[in-house]
Each structure stands twice: as C-alpha cells, then as structure tokens.
C-alpha cells in the first residue's frame, strides 16, 4: 500500500489523478479502466472539497492505493462533514438534462465507473470512501485460452 496526503484543493486534483493512474497501470488495468478510476477519484475528491469541507484549503485528502492480483483499491479519507447517502435522492436520469438536479449525479457516476464502492464515517477516523476496480478478465487475441481446442 502507498499513501499520500494532498491538500484539499482543486490544484491537487491533477496530482491525485497521476497518483491513482500510476497505481491503476501497475495493477494491470487497461486504458479504459484507468480513465474510469481517475474520473471516479476526481469526482470523489471534488465532493470532498465542495461538500465535506465546504471549500478549498480547509482540510486534506488522504489517498491510499492498494494493488492486489488484478485489482486496485483506492481509499480516500477526509475529516470534513460526514456524507449522508440516504439524504441525497438518486438522480432522475430519465429527465432531460436541464431538469436533472446536480446532487447525486456524481455518486451515481462513481458507482457506475467502479466495481465496488463503500463509505464509512466515524468521529475518530473521519470519512472513508473505498473504491475498487478489477482488471477485465477478457481474453486477448493470441492468448492460449482463445485458441480452439485440439
């Protein structure tokens, strides 16, 4: 596991993206999965800055990456205001975009991009968002498993 603490500011987003992107590549994720991880983490970090801290420069975002056989886990920790998922309705995506409320769309996006998403909060350790992305098990052309049986 590797952990880096970043200032809770929009200027940190590129460094956070690079950090998780390198880990995703090391985990063997393909380009599409790497982008998905970076986009989900970027959205989560914006939510931490905007909603947990209520603005830039108020707190830090601790980012931990853990690589395990074809899987990347990203853990984001902050000490801002706890997130209450039940208080935010699911987005009504069947409506025209002009009528979709912005609250809840980021959470929906993160859940669609990642394979597993969990959130915990406690007064002692703060808020912990855990994001998991697994390497695609698709067989590549030329792999032995894709050859016809003899």
Fold observed for domain 2-136: Heat Shock Protein 90 (3.30.565)
Residue 61 above 60 pLDDT?
yes
Mean pLDDT of 71-95: 80
- The predicted pLDDT at position 1 comes to 82
Dihedral of the alpha carbons of 136, 119, 103, 50, in degrees to the nearest 10: -110
Delimit the domains of the chain by residue range. 2-136
pLDDT in tens, 94-125: 666 666 556 557 788 899 999 999 999 999 99
Number of Cβ within 10 Å of residue 2's Cβ equals 12
Residue 47 above 70 pLDDT?
yes
Q: What are the strands, taking DSSP E only, across the chain? A: 2-7, 60-68, 71-78, 116-122, 126-134
Q: What is the pTM of this model?
A: 0.82
Number of Cβ within 10 Å of residue 32's Cβ equals 8
């Amino acid at each position: 596991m590797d952990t880096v603490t970043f200032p809770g500011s929009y200027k940190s987003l590129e460094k956070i993206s690079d950090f998780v992107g390198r880990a995703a590549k090391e985990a063997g994720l393909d380009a599409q999965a790497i982008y998905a991880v970076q986009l989900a983490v970027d959205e989560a970090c914006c939510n931490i800055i905007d909603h947990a801290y209520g603005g830039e420069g108020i707190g830090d975002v601790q980012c931990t990456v853990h690589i395990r056989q074809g899987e990347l886990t990203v853990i984001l920790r902050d000490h801002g205001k706890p997130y209450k998922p039940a208080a935010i309705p699911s987005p009504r995506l069947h409506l025209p975009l002009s009528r979709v409320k912005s609250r809840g769309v980021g959470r929906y996006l993160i859940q669609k991009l990642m394979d597993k998403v969990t959130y915990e909060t406690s007064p002692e350790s703060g808020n912990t968002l855990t994001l998991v992305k697994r390497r695609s098990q698709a067989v590549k052309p030329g792999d032995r498993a894709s050859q016809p049986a003899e």
